[in-house]
């Protein structure tokens, strides 16, 4: 990617971020951020990736407060130990634990799923939350561009490997749920099926936006497959807004400075950013409903191209090839 194209990609990403920040400020001024009230979720089990800090930590904490058995998936055992301890203390819920899962490694994801299934417990909620943001050009252990590999492909593989347990755990009127965290950045994303690894040119901003766009496309196709097979599982996308977390450590220094000085005022807190994910995971209003893009606990429209069924199918097929997952699309829709 030429320097000019990279600059344009960065400007698009920052423009979207600025627009979201302005919307958040207006909402806080007019209505404030009132913490939602959700029904208790005792006897239900959730997995939250990236639950050691930021939005993921807050999501895990809120679900534990509701009585869920919460399993945090992450790749930092030191952080995880502290996160589990703090959540247990704050929520008085002893059913909070950690299982190692490095989304940059397909083998690690497979091992995580094996360890989880050995517990012989159900799975009612999967929150695909973990991610990297605007990192320098580098690859995962399996050779995938890091944004695409961690943010998208890792969760694609994890979700597919856990689908059988989600199906077994869901029931009519009490569906299991897949909640995938995307971003408003997907609105300026472009997905090139001929260069998903950004190998011909690289822009951290474009790669990040592409990964978030891929998550939306994938979620919609997954929901279509679930509906076609009558599975008691739903799949939705949660957009947390612009949140004050450590993900910004790789962004432009000027943005980091603004965040440091004014983040408390301009950005959502991690707790506020987590509310849409928690809403998608537990609200009765979404029982049996999938294929939604949710922002501030309300359904809204995602980028127009995300509703392109053929584009969804093509990305899904390519993702199956990359991860070794069987593509059942033709069997399900055309039998």
**In-domain check, residue 108:** yes
Tell me, what's the pLDDT at 29? 43
Tell me, what's the pLDDT at 266? 58
Whole-number mean pLDDT of the chain?
87
pLDDT at 114 exceeding the cut of 60: yes
**In-domain check, residue 332:** no
pLDDT band at 13 (very low <50, low <70, confident <90, very high): very low
pLDDT at 26 exceeding the cut of 80: no
**In-domain check, residue 31:** no
**In-domain check, residue 232:** yes
Cα separation of 125 and 137, whole Å? 32
Tell me, what's the pLDDT at 243? 66
pLDDT band at 249 (very low <50, low <70, confident <90, very high): very low
**In-domain check, residue 26:** no
169 closest CA partner among 219, 234, 251: 234
**In-domain check, residue 46:** yes
**In-domain check, residue 308:** yes
Domain count for the chain: 1
Structural domain for 135, as ranges: 42-327
Tokens 């996308």 belong to which residue?
A: 237
Which pTM does this prediction carry? 0.87
Tell me, what's the pLDDT at 160? 98
**In-domain check, residue 290:** yes
The enclosing domain of 64 has a CATH number of 3.40.50.720
pLDDT at 42 exceeding the cut of 90: yes
For 135-170, the DSSP string reads: PPS-B-TTS-BHIIIIIIIIHHHHHHHHHHHHHHH-
Lowest mean pLDDT among 50-59, 88-97, 101-110, 268-277: 268-277
Cα separation of 46 and 90, whole Å? 18
Which residues, in sequence order, are bridge partners of residue 230?
A: none
Q: Is 131 exposed, middle or buried (0-12, 13-18, 19+ CB in 10 A)?
A: buried
SS3 299: strand
Query: Could you give the residue numbers annotated as active site?
Result: 208
């Amino acid at each position: 990617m030429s320097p000019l194209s990279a600059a344009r990609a960065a400007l698009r990403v920052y423009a979207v971020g600025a627009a979201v920040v302005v919307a958040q400020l207006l909402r806080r001024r007019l209505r404030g951020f009132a913490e939602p009230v959700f029904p208790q979720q005792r006897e239900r089990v959730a997995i939250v990736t990236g639950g050691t800090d930021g939005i993921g930590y807050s999501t895990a904490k809120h679900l534990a407060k509701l009585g869920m058995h919460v399993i945090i998936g992450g790749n930092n055992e030191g952080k995880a130990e502290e996160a589990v301890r703090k959540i247990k203390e704050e929520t008085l819920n002893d059913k909070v634990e950690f299982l190692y899962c490095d989304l940059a490694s397909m083998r690690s994801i497979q091992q995580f799923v094996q360890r989880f299934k050995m517990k012989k417990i159900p799975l009612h909620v999967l929150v695909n939350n973990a991610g990297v943001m605007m990192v320098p050009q580098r690859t995962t252990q399996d050779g995938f561009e890091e944004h695409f590999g961690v943010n998208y492909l890792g969760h694609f593989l994890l979700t597919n490997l856990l689908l059988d347990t989600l199906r077994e755990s869901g029931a009519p009127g009490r569906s299991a749920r897949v909640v995938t965290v995307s971003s408003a950045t997907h609105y300026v994303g472009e997905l090139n099926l001929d260069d998903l690894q950004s190998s011909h040119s690289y822009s951290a901003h474009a790669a990040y936006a592409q990964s978030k766009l891929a998550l939306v496309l994938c979620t919609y196709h997954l929901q279509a497959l679930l509906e076609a097979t009558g599975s008691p599982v739903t799949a939705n996308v949660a957009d947390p807004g612009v949140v004050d977390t450590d993900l910004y450590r790789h962004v432009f220094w000027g943005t980091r400075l603004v965040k440091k000085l004014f983040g408390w005022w301009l950005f959502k807190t991690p707790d506020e950013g987590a509310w849409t994910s928690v809403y998608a995971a537990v609200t009765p209003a979404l029982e049996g409903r999938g294929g939604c893009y949710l922002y501030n606990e309300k359904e809204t429209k995602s980028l127009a191209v995300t509703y392109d069924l053929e584009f969804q199918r093509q990305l899904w097929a390519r993702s199956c090839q990359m991860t070794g997952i069987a593509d059942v699309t033709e069997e399900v829709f055309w039998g």
